[in-house]
Structure 1
């Protein structure tokens, strides 16, 4: 399971910018078949001189947008006023409706930790429908499938975070291996492990598990 794009060939992945801490370095866009942003992220993309014509859609309620934005990019706006869902959730719904299964997300982390936890919870809701990988300046993180393989990771920090419980975990290639062990938010978590091999495998029987992989 490759967690990062390494070439320039277009993939079946979508790229989504959301309104957390803006990435210092914008990702390559040529490898994505769809590129989208929430209306909050749209502001920082403009400031970073992102080529906005590459956006396939921008979703949100657009309360903070100027008339010029409306005139130039109106055909890309998808109005999503439902206040019972976050802009992130509504954007994922649109991406799923368009048939995509893999989404790379930038801007998911934030100085306000409720923002980060909210985004992680939304990813949990979609974990069976979409393969979502978040990227920030420090790590990538995602909900693991039950038979995860990580390649070319020797020396990287690999944290296993139960959400809220993960049963019968078996790992190979980690400094502190797990052999049919459980992780639980209330008793034991598996953060700050280290990959001692280039190839790491993580299998588990039941539950949900978030993997944080240092960049």
Structure 2
């Protein structure tokens, strides 16, 4: 059974495998190599087992006749975390678990694709964890995370960057994006910053004053 690289003191982000469309084996392998803790949601556990991967935590509500005992033996040793609360998604419960363990950052795969309602919920729900947990959602075409009020990062020219507001975001100012924003606002459903791109190799700066703003690095 394939295991993942153990990184001491939880210095690298944990990894959550949700239950959307699978990413490439290359991306999953890269993330597994450096993840100190791998959590699988119960709805994805059967598919993960078929990949012959060793995981650390199995988490979920275990409804619909889910056979916990099988995975206790098949994935031994494994931590079983039963979270029956129906007011939260299993992904949110996994975020709460990481916060309880004081793990500061997590990468999430298999959280997009398949059902559109699950994809939208998984992406938009990360805003409630601002200042509690650094969350990055990845698939083969995008990297999604919430922006702090002041953001700077080096990018190569023509990298596709989309700015997606959750609700209304105001006071947005950017540098080194082809479609520049100067003290502007974005409103979900009315005006978003989709399919912008980096003007030239160098630092991109994105500042905003109010609201919750997501950045999506996109790869065609």
Q: TM-score range by the shorter chain?
A: 0.7 to 0.9
Equivalent residues in 2 for 1:22-171, closer than 5 Å: 22-25=22-25, 26-28=28-30, 29-50=32-53, 52=54, 55-62=55-62, 63-65=65-67, 67-73=69-75, 75-171=78-174
| Structure 1 residue 181 corresponds to structure 2 residue 184 | yes
Contact in 2 for aligned 1:22/1:44 (Cα 8 Å): no
Runs of 4+ in 1 over 3 A off after TM superposition: 8-12, 72-75
Cα displacement (A) at 1:132: 0.5
Specify which of 196, 205, 210 is matched with residue 209 of structure 2.
205
Q: Is the 8 A contact 2:15 2:106 kept in 1?
A: yes
How many Å apart are 1:56 and its aligned residue?
Answer: 2.2
1:169 deviates by 0.7
Mean Cα displacement is larger for which, 97-106 or 186-195? 186-195
Aligned length: 205
1:46 positional shift: 1.4
Q: Structure 1 CA distance, aligned partners of 2:164 and 2:196?
A: 11
Distance between the aligned counterparts of 1:164 and 1:202, measured in 2?
18
Whether 1:193 aligns to 2:205 is no
CA RMSD of aligned residues (A): 2.0
Unaligned regions of 5+ residues in structure 1, if any?
1-7
Stretches of structure 2 lacking an aligned partner (at least 5 in a row): 1-5
The 8 Å contact of residues 103 and 133 in structure 1, kept in 2 or not, is answered as yes
1:8-19 equivalent positions in 2, closer than 5 A: 11-19=11-19
| TM-score (norm. length: structure 1) | 0.87
- Alignment check: 8 A CA contact 2:154 2:204 kept: yes
TM-score, normalised relative to structure 2 = 0.85
Maintained 8 Å contact 1:153/1:200: no
User: Which residue of the partner structure matches residue 3 of structure 1?
Assistant: none
